[in-house]
Structure 1
Amino acid sequence: MSDPRTAIVLFSGGQDSTACLAWALDRYARVETLGFDYGQRHRIELDCRQVVRRALAAQFPHWAARLGDDHVLDLSLLGQISDTALTSERAIELQANGLPNTFVPGRNLLFLTFAATVAYRRGASVLVGGMCETDFSGYPDCRDNTLKAQQIALSLGLDTPMTIETPLMWLTKAQTWALTQQLGGDALNALIVEHTHTCYLGERGALHAWGHGCGQCPACALRAAGHAEWCASRPGAGAGAA
């Protein structure tokens, strides 16, 4: 039986958030999605969100009945006060503190705070995010301890239990591909390849075996490497599987 609670999925339109959306639809009685427009350089992901939602509903009728409303919040102020490679046209590189300049300070903390606010109003008590501490760039707001602390703070501040679920926290990117294969088979992974967006540069040109993207930025490199590893691990995989 499904969990009777309502979940809000932080849904960007990328591979990880689509995996989280499928994971939530497989578990919760009702699932709503929440996106953020914060002036991101790869804003094209906002267009992909609706395409992915429609494709999921059409191809997985048993999930369609659970898929509820979508919400998009204007967080343009975050982009205005950020000086990062995700919010301005600049080269992607490491900073003196060891973090890549794609790190947007406070982004996930704000996302979850606003998600909890929407959840409170919508009668939801579960927040689902694609944060990961395995294949990540060292972002401090993706760490498990950070999110556990925020779960406590949100529950106390709202005076109601608020659960933060991070199903990808300890998965490599190859294992994320395996998870979506388990949840929705070849159809779900084909949907992810065709319709989701990960590329930091917003490139939607060539379709690679792992999806659209420039193929060079850190997000594309991680996604491509994970896809190749997953393909190589599948039974009967040949030299051209990736």
Structure 2
Amino acid sequence: MTTTQDAKTKGALVLFSGGQDSTTCAAWALARYERVETIGFDYGQRHAVELEVRPQVLAALRGIAPQWDARLGEDHMIDLSLLGQISDTSLTRDMAIAMQENGLPNTFVPGRNLLFMMVAATLAYRRGLDVLVGGMCETDYSGYPDCRNDTMQSLEQSINLGMATDMRIETPLMWIDKAATWEMARELGGDALVEMIRVDTHTCYLGERGALHDWGHGCGQCPACDLRARGWRAFQARRAEAS
């Protein structure tokens, strides 16, 4: 289990949805920082079931390792329903998932990650935390422009200029695919963490829990389920090759 710590930081605030990526990021932060808090957002998302699984996933994270239990602090739930009110996407409306004329899927919620990070930075400022951890990735993703590394670097600069702070945005999944994300979880918390992520977390855009597939719960058809399933199978194949 990884236990590397960064003693130079005051602590980390993890953007935590209750999904695979944010749970892996939470484990990553718990393996590095002595103080870790989490923040979630209720923005009127269609897959609001992710908000329901968050408490049990956080409780399960505490059970992975005693030091994680000691390090994991307060969880903050923020009402960002305004975002759902002003957006018109398949994640905030009951509409079919489709591609748009601009080449982006209509699952893209404009400004979502920008707003998430700004709100997280505001809370981190008050809580005395100086690292923001997010699961953004541009290696294996749906093409969202607010998941790109350039976006996060620019946002970090803007936050520090606008708040006169020295915060750092960490995106540990930025340059890895979903199979490597599963492998990161295994390296951080062993098979126990992998199984917890598989069974307890939620990623499906349609909010379906239903039957438990080999890769987890979900509709099995939406882009989020497809990425997660393909990543799981590639992860299993890589493990089989290595054994």
TM-score, normalised relative to structure 1: 0.96
1:237 deviates by 7.7
Q: Which residue of 2 aligns with 1:127?
A: 132
CA deviations over 1:86-122 (Å, ceiling 9, x no partner):
0011000000000000000000000000000000000
Which of 155, 158, 163 in structure 1 is aligned with 2:168? Answer: 163
What is the SS of the residue equivalent to 1:234?
helix
CA distance in 2, matches of 1:218, 1:235: 26
In the TM superposition, residue 62 of structure 1 has moved relative to its aligned partner by: 1.8
How many residue pairs end up in the alignment?
A: 238
Is residue 213 of structure 2 the alignment partner of residue 208 of structure 1? yes
Contact 2:46 2:207 in 1 (8 A): yes
**Offset at 1:59?**
2.8
1:36-58 Cα shifts (integer Å, max 9, x gaps): 00000000100111010001112
Matched, 1:3 2:6: yes
Tell me whether 1:228 sits opposite 2:233 in the alignment. yes
User: C-alpha distance in 2, partners of 1:210/1:185?
Assistant: 16
User: Percent of counterpart pairs with the same letter?
Assistant: 65
Which letter maps to 1:90? Answer: M
Rounded to whole Å, the distance in 1 between the matches of 2:240 and 2:142 is 30
SS class of match (2:11): strand
- Which letter does structure 1 place at the counterpart of 2:199? E
Matched, 1:193 2:202: no
Look up the SS of the partner of 1:64 in the other structure. helix
CA distance in 1, matches of 2:61, 2:155: 30
CA contact (8 A) 1:231 1:237 kept: no
Give the corresponding residue for 1:88: 93
Please list every run of 5 or more consecutive structure 2 residues that lacks an aligned counterpart in the other structure: none
Q: Please give the root-mean-square deviation of Cα atoms over the aligned residues, in Å.
A: 1.1
**CA distance in 1 between partners of 2:43 and 2:27 (Å):** 24
Q: Compare 95-104 and 51-60 and name the one that shifted more.
A: 51-60
Post-superposition CA distance 1:129-188 (Å, at most 9, x none): 000000111100000001000000001111010100000000100000010011011000
Superposed, 1:1-242 pairs within 5 Å as 2-4=5-7, 5-235=10-240
Distance 1:159 1:175 in 2: 36
Structure 1 residue runs of 5 or longer lacking an equivalent are none
SS at match of 1:29: coil
Q: Secondary structure at the match of 1:28?
A: coil
Contact 1:26/1:183, CA 8 A, preserved across alignment: yes
Matched AA of 1:33: T
Using the TM superposition, name which of 111-120 and 52-61 deviates more.
52-61
In structure 2, how many angstroms separate the alpha carbons of the residues matched to 1:235 and 1:228? 10
Shift of residue 236 of structure 1? 5.7
2:178 counterpart letter in structure 1: K
Q: What CA distance in whole angstroms lies between the structure 1 residues aligned with 2:165 and 2:233? A: 43
AA of the residue aligned to 1:98: G
